[in-house]
Amino acid sequence: MITSVFIWLSAIIVILLILLFYSGFRKRVKIARILGISEKETKRNHLVRSISGVFLIVFLSLGFLAPVIKNYKETVFYTSDVLFLIDESRSMAAEEPTGTVSRLERSKAVMVKFSKAFTDLDVSVYGFTREVRSHLYWTPDYNDFLRTVEQVVRIEGVPTNGTDLGKAIGGASNYFPDGSESKIIVLLSDGENNGRESDLREALDLARQNNVKIIAIGVGDRKGANIPIYNERGQFVNFEAISGKRVVTRLNENTLRQIAISTNGVYAAEENLEEALEFLNDNLVEKKRQVLTQDTLLRKIFLVLSLILLFFLIKTNW
């Protein structure tokens, strides 16, 4: 819809141009009389030049001043509320083999794969050891999510020793927004649990009551791995040890698989995510949103007309 401001500006420009060219017309007629040039030819040329000039400037003005027409279009998209719950305990610093990428870094890569596969998710990020901490509250912004994964998620990002899966799942099950239609926890862990089994069972009961489904991603080696220690320069120093004996940390798939089954979810190993991605796709819900579109066609038409008229004036030497 054309605004009143646009109409008034256009009218003022036209009036000023008419006055300007009328003044020029009178001067040219006087000069033609003095020089003995045909007044009729002078009037015709000036009239054509004036009209063309008026239209050129009017079209240029309209091209820059014409309002942008805003419309709202309803679109359908598919989404879910996905809470990434990532283990940040010391066992996630293990490398298989030593000198390669740690379990935590591989978990972060899995998180990015999920977010890239589904671009309309609302996501949040929580880290856990024996406690649970929010790293990112609910957002659909992929860039915020990526920055959190790259800069915030780290070993002992939640500064307590050990791992309590029950506390982590129980807490996360209550962190979903009100009215959520699809609640998914993506749990990334090696499955080691230092918490009580009874607490884990209670947490899984709470997840079921809240209609939360868990995608459990197993990260680690079933055979076990040591936890390397590096100095400030990133050079390997030694392996973590207790009473002189190296710490060995293993992937506990049984625990992770049971967590997934108990919540009608799915378990997947880090190297085989197809089933997990398919499960999330099956649990997306349809929603609608209003998308703002801006129509600049009117401006483009006037600018094109201006160029055509300018080209015409140049070619005819007017």
Q: Where are the alpha helices (DSSP H) in the chain?
A: 4-35, 39-65, 103-117, 142-151, 165-172, 197-209, 253-262, 274-282, 297-315
Q: Is 198 exposed, middle or buried (0-12, 13-18, 19+ CB in 10 A)?
A: exposed
- Going along the chain from its start, the domains and CATH numbers come out as 4-68+296-315 (no CATH), 76-289 (3.40.50.410)
pLDDT in tens, 102-158: 999 999 999 999 999 998 999 999 999 999 999 999 999 999 999 999 999 999 888
Q: Along the 318 residues of the chain, how does pLDDT read in single tens digits?
A: 445 665 666 667 667 666 666 665 566 556 656 665 555 665 566 666 667 766 777 777 766 666 677 777 888 889 999 999 999 999 999 998 888 999 999 999 999 999 999 989 999 999 999 999 999 999 999 999 999 999 999 998 888 889 999 999 999 999 999 999 999 999 999 999 999 999 999 999 999 999 999 999 999 998 999 999 999 888 889 999 988 899 999 999 999 999 999 999 999 999 999 999 999 999 999 988 777 777 677 777 877 877 887 776 666 554
Q: Hey, what are 31's tokens?
A: 């000069």
Cα–Cα distance between 177 and 88 in angstroms, integer? 24
Q: Are 217 and 110 in contact (CB under 8 A)?
A: yes
pLDDT in tens, 274-299: 999 999 999 999 988 777 777 677 77
Cα–Cα distance between 267 and 82 in angstroms, integer? 16
Cα–Cα distance between 165 and 142 in angstroms, integer? 27
Task: Identify the DSSP state of 289.
Answer: E
The H or E element spanning position 196 is none
Q: Are 158 and 131 in contact (CB under 8 A)?
A: yes
Q: What is the largest CA-CA distance in the chain?
A: 116
* pTM given for the model: 0.72
- Beta-bridged to residue 161, according to DSSP, are none
